[in-house]
Chain A
Amino acid sequence: MLLPKTAAARIISCDVFDTLLHRDHRSERQRFNDIAVRAAQRLAAERRIVRHPGAIYDARIEVQKQAYRALDLSCPSGDVRFADMVDAMGRILSLDAHAADIIHQAEIAVEIAQLKANTPLLAWLAEQARAGCRIIAVSDTYHRGETIAQLLAAHAPDHPVGQIYASADHNATKRTGALFGVVLRQEGVAAADILHIGDDTTADVTMAQAAGLRSLQVLRPKHLVFRRRADALRARILHKLRIRAAHAPRAGASA
């Protein structure tokens, strides 16, 4: 990761996932699986509710898929809120609000366990902040800003981020450019005064530049990208095998 000596900007805007906070080699599907396993254990232990991790995983995949497809049809520049997804998951898993909250907590716990601070970038940002730059985080995510703050605080308690713009809070995303408009209005600076740093070519480079911001792309190593793809395939196969195993003993049972 090559960072300039000085940002030459009034504001440095930073993407969060895979920029400020690094994910490891695990795929999104594997993460959902880990969340499902943790949630199933807690539901059984704390509420005596038996839900197969595969069912929780399926509900998550289902809700997220349909939620984003519905969004594409009604408000393509907006975003889905995690609380809404948890509410829907709770309903289709026949869980009350307290039990559904366990899914929420499992997600945050797994995120905290699997994320890691990008220490060199955070150190550089701290240096720029001391030189008078304002540091903000701008993320396309279904999580709210307060959740991002919780994740940042867990991994980098002294982080220099002064404000968090999450797409779920503003119903506007970077990948459509709408969130950059929100940032510019709320920060009250010219677009050219902001340097945006992120990993995603469309959201963090193309759309940032289209909004007039300067951009700097920080890419994750290629081997990590391949490992994640392989992990996604592995998670998919394991899930199918697990579901098949869960169904097998009941196939001949009576209704």
Chain B
Amino acid sequence: MTVTAPDIGRLDAETFGRVALGPILAEFCLRLWLFERFLQGDDAVLLFCARGGLRMRLAYERFLARTDLPQRLPHADLMVSRLVAARTAFDPPSPGVLSELEREFSGQSMAEIAAALAQCNDLDLPPPWHAPFEKIRFISLLAGTEPGVVRLHRAVAEQDALFRAHLATCTGNRRHGVLVDTGLYGSTVRILQEGIPERQWSGLQFARSNYKRLPTPHFARTLGLSVESDGYKPWEVRTSALRFWQLIESCLEPELSSVRTFTASADGGSPRANLQVAGWESRIAPEQPGLFTGVLAYIDGLAPETLHRVQEDAARAWQHLKDAVVWPDAQAVATLSLGHRSRDFGRTELRAQFAVPGTTSPLKQIRESLWREGAVVRSFPRSGRLALPLIELIYAARALRSEVQALRRRRRAI
């Protein structure tokens, strides 16, 4: 099955999933298989991280089945999130945890952070905890002996112990956990390396990007199999995924809650995460046609004798993705409209794909939208497309400037 340019008049989410995201994710699966094929030793296990990793595993195992490629390593679903990982490196908080907290809870109080980590709103922490987050202050407050602080430590430790028990079930006697996830910065890999150093950790992501501009000690062991770039570069078609990253996340994340807490099993089995509600496995694949059903349709069309077409299909698909994301028309904006996206890290607030009209100026709405090109075409249906070359030009100048800066840094390092 070779994919070709879609008929734009009939472009719906499932078609876009089959024509664009299907070959792109099949290419990712191929690269993941090469990793599995060439990872040496028998100490590794592929851990597909909730939530995006759950669909990645579904797509990957279906890809292996359709193409007859052999599975060499064990696979498991790892119930993890940045919040869960942060608890492993909380006492005392590691540099990775502090960086994440500082970025995610900017301007919020340390009591709010404590509530998120403990998943408990009645810790009754002393007044200094209600000040905005500050790394040094946070560390010193954690050393306190007040009842609220003790409750915080106890809650985090209990949850961490349950996660470690779940991890042990997933890995068996294998020490090398290879985390398979969507991306981008790889906070989970970084924090687990700090929190559970007795194990070896690697990350194989769809995309790797230091969009947070934080230190990257984990990048040596965290790879972006499909995209590796700190930003969009107009001359690298793959980086267009970073222009509308939420599209990839939305395709891969099932309608399940992010992992926040674990509950001990009454029968002595492995602890269960809040995500693992009754029937959770059947909810990984969507019921309604959409982007991911399109991806699976493409994968289902593969066979050992057509596997050689994946790379060629993927090359075309990346161009389709770029055309839709960077140069969208009204049809693409309608097709690729997403629901609200979760902010995560233990919080329940959602973020809209497009900033709400009327509450702020159109330019601010565009700036605050998850997909700026889409927001431009949506806000200015007649003239919006004329502004797209200007946006592209701005990104080109910005990317060129950071390339020059990187070149200078490399020269200074030599």
Q: How far is the CB of A147 from chain B (nearest CB, A)?
A: 19
Q: Is A80 an interface residue (CB 8 A)?
A: yes
Q: Is A155 an interface residue (CB 8 A)?
A: no
Q: Which residue of A lies closest to B220 (CB)?
A: A72
Q: Is A59 an interface residue (CB 8 A)?
A: yes
Q: Is B1 an interface residue (CB 8 A)?
A: yes
Q: Is A108 an interface residue (CB 8 A)?
A: no
Q: Is A193 an interface residue (CB 8 A)?
A: no
Q: Which residue of B lies closest to A63 (CB)?
A: B34
Q: B41 contacts A75, CB within 8 Å?
A: yes
Contact bitstring B30-60, A, C-beta under 8 A = 1, else 0: 1100110111110110000000000000000
Q: Is B115 an interface residue (CB 8 A)?
A: no
Q: Is B4 an interface residue (CB 8 A)?
A: yes
Q: A91 contacts B307, CB within 8 Å?
A: yes
Option from B1, B38, B43, B178 in Cβ contact (under 8 Å) with A66:
B38
Interface centre among B3, B4, B178 (most CB of A within 10 A): B4
Q: Give every chain B residue within 8 A of A84 (Cβ-Cβ).
A: 37-38
Q: Give every chain B residue within 8 A of A80 (Cβ-Cβ).
A: 38
Q: A250 contacts B4, CB within 8 Å?
A: yes
Q: Give every chain A residue within 8 A of B178 (Cβ-Cβ).
A: 73
Roughly how many angstroms separate A70 CA and B69 CA in the complex, as a whole number?
Answer: 17
For A, the interface residue count at a CB cutoff of 8 angstroms equals 32
Q: Give every chain B residue within 8 A of A73 (Cβ-Cβ).
A: 35, 39, 178, 202, 221, 223
Q: A66 contacts B34, CB within 8 Å?
A: yes
Q: A94 contacts B40, CB within 8 Å?
A: no
Q: Give every chain A residue within 8 A of B316 (Cβ-Cβ).
A: 247, 251
Option from B2, B31, B308, B312 in Cβ contact (under 8 Å) with A94:
B308
Q: A66 contacts B41, CB within 8 Å?
A: no
Roughly how many angstroms separate A171 CA and B304 CA in the complex, as a whole number?
Answer: 31
With A73-B202, A92-B308, A243-B315 as known contacts, state yes or no: A250 contacts B38, CB within 8 Å: no
Q: Give every chain A residue within 8 A of B308 (Cβ-Cβ).
A: 51, 55, 59, 92-95
Q: B44 contacts A74, CB within 8 Å?
A: yes
Q: A70 contacts B38, CB within 8 Å?
A: yes
Q: A252 contacts B311, CB within 8 Å?
A: no
Roughly how many angstroms separate A59 CA and B178 CA in the complex, as a whole number?
Answer: 24
Within A50-93, which residues are at the interface with B (CB < 8 Å)?
51, 55, 58-59, 62-63, 66-67, 69-71, 73-75, 78, 80, 84, 88, 91-93
29 contacts between A and B (CB under 8 A): A55-B308, A62-B311, A63-B34, A66-B34, A66-B225, A67-B34, A67-B37, A67-B38, A70-B34, A70-B35, A70-B39, A71-B40, A73-B35, A73-B223, A74-B43, A74-B176, A75-B41, A80-B38, A88-B34, A88-B38, A91-B304, A91-B307, A92-B311, A93-B308, A94-B305, A94-B307, A250-B4, A252-B5, A255-B2
Residues of B within 8 A of A (CB): 1-5, 30-31, 34-35, 37-41, 43-44, 69, 176, 178, 202, 221, 223, 225, 304-308, 310-312, 315-316
